[in-house]
Structure 1
Amino acid sequence: MPDIGIAASTESSGMATSLFVAGPARFAERPDRILEDVFEFFDANPDVPYVVLNSDDGMDVRDMFRRPGSPPLVKEGYYVPEMPDSSALFVLARRERVDPIRPFAYEDIDDYRTPMEVLNRDGVARRLFLGHLELQKSVPRPNDPDLAESRIVTAAEWLEYAAKFSKRPDIRGTGQISFLDREFNARHRPPLDWKPTPWFPIPWSKLQLQQFDQMATLGFIHRPVFVKTTDEHGKPLARRDAREKALMDGLQEALRTLPETERAKGPARVIAATNNQTAQLVALEGMLHQFAAQGGPEIDSGKLDKFINIDRRLGNTGAATLFMEMAIGVMGSYRAGGPSLAVNLRDPHEASFIFISPPSDEKRKTQDKARGDVFRSIRSMAIDPANYAVPATQ
């Protein structure tokens, strides 16, 4: 069954009209290479403007998806679980890919106070949404009475449907249409000279384009680097110097993913996880000391603004580890500047490196001035903290 993880909760989170299709997924203790899948997906689909990447792990998630008949992982009562609930979601956008559709943005029926029969009949995005719902019900699914009547649509299934939708006469305004339809609904259609692409059967409306442009730019994710830390027999490197050399090679390769002007500076901070493996942490510290001796920045593991040990700060974040590191890196780079380096050493057979860079100072100032702190919560707290303030005394 296709799965989109925590993105499936969008309907209950106020995004009921947003359409999602399932892309590649990796279910493993270390699914870090899904980042390679994302970059390859962008390369193979040059008109895709963004991908939603999410990760989720914890005892509750593992209990939900455990094998039938296996013992439960969650028990009743008050206790500290072996793993905290860990989740991170990223909207990875290629903003320049939206530029070709800007001249074709049109006025759709975006006011949902419009009578439903009018919206269903004349709204272009609404008809695409209804088609998506029907597609969810029509695609094959396991014959299991416990499952819902519909399932998430895969990318391949959606592209096949979208190609057909892009040719509908009532959407394009082609073929035989009535005088009233031509006079009153023409402005609610994409321009006639619009040429559909696989992921854009129709261009975005002006409102959709505006909403996309309003999303804050929080940072830039660079291509990941994965380095084997095994010998010729496939066993973890036993010698510390060999392990440090492998990590140094990984760091140097990761640095080459940065703009040339940033490479010499190195990371402003490191966010790392080793699953509490002392040998891995010692090798990482040794590599960072070598890097500093060669002219790189000095990363003091005793300073929280320079080195964040996920194992000690968050606990066992499992499969979500690298993505939790990336999220912290995004926030650290945005607030304090400089590139952040996320390193996952939980697997003694392979190390993961990925750099996160902040937007320009000008971009950050513009965004902060327009919307305030981009990381602030926009939800009202269920409990007012003022209720727990120390009473004033005279």
Structure 2
Amino acid sequence: MPPNYINLLSQLIARHDFHPNNFPEASHLQPTATADLCEFLGEEVIYQTIATAITPKLYKIPQDLPPSIISALHRQGIQQLYSHQIKTLKAVRQGKDVILSTATASGKSLSAYLPILEGILQHQFTALSIYGLKALTADQSQKLADLLQLIPEPARPRLALLTGDTPPKTREQLLAANPSIISATPELIHYALKGVHWSQPWQHFLSRLRYIVLDEAHTFNGVYGANMASLIRRLKLAVDERGGCSQKLQFLILSATVGNPVKLAKLLSGRSRKRNINKPERLVWINSSGAAVPERQLIVTKPTHDANSDVARIIMFLLQQGKSGICFGNGRQAIKNLWATFKQEAVTQTNSGIESQVAIFYGSLTSERRM
């Protein structure tokens, strides 16, 4: 069976209508009635299972956080934090590096940015967030920007989004505003480091750099991962040359699917040498999630001669049931082929117009489409 076919079933059938911040009672985890997809697929089904819901582990927001952060969280409807968010906050306060490998949609980004915002507000530190994909950079930056907007001026930290889509003149304007947080792709950082010696804004930013966030760390593997580790080494040198201290840098490394989190975190951060038994471990691994998990259904079907037709049929069925989800393909052409098959399926079922509920996404789309 093609891997993207299994991904479709595991992703589309999972329910996504549970807000991660609103679980005061376990009763909120009860799923609503769903159409019987197994009955629809019939004899094509060779395996199916249902994973039960998991209730969240929630704690009060620490009152020693800066009041402006507490107020911003409340205004976003966040009254409590998950257990892994509390653990991350404590670890960063102790000067530790963190590898956070909890599940998708468990609030990893908020886990990282709470202690970062605290450090920025209390000590005027800066933070660099590195994302392997431009779309991910834009998505996560928007979430952070939404939180920052709730912190009153003039204390509000400035955020700069820098990718290959950002025009050079706009980059200069963003840097001139002395941002406290820069979200960027590795390629942009590689380019920027070549000109640090004549860029006053970059020098000022690096001199106060304390936090480096590496999101979706599992993408930094193989040759790409080796290049990323080299980029981090160059970044450390630049920090030291501009009056900062690379030894005090703290890495917050996030991934939901990495198979060897501790090893990868140490290799990327450059702290993979044997630990000194006289010093406590610098890296903290947090893999126990306190987030709620809704009931999920996994269905595996028999492979057929035309996976695209089968997938298009399943997407059509789920849309007709009012469901939403994500279908992963293995490349741009695979996505285009599936899209064409789905449109033909809509015509066959005399359901033209339903294709407006489906959007395709791939890297070569314009930045406006990707946003």
TM-score range relative to shorter protein: under 0.3
Name the one with the larger helix percent: 2
Query: Which protein has the larger Cα radius of gyration, Structure 1 or Structure 2?
Result: 1
Normalised by the size of structure 1, how large is the TM-score? 0.22
TM-score, L = length of structure 2: 0.23
Higher relative contact order (CA 8 A, sep 6+): 2
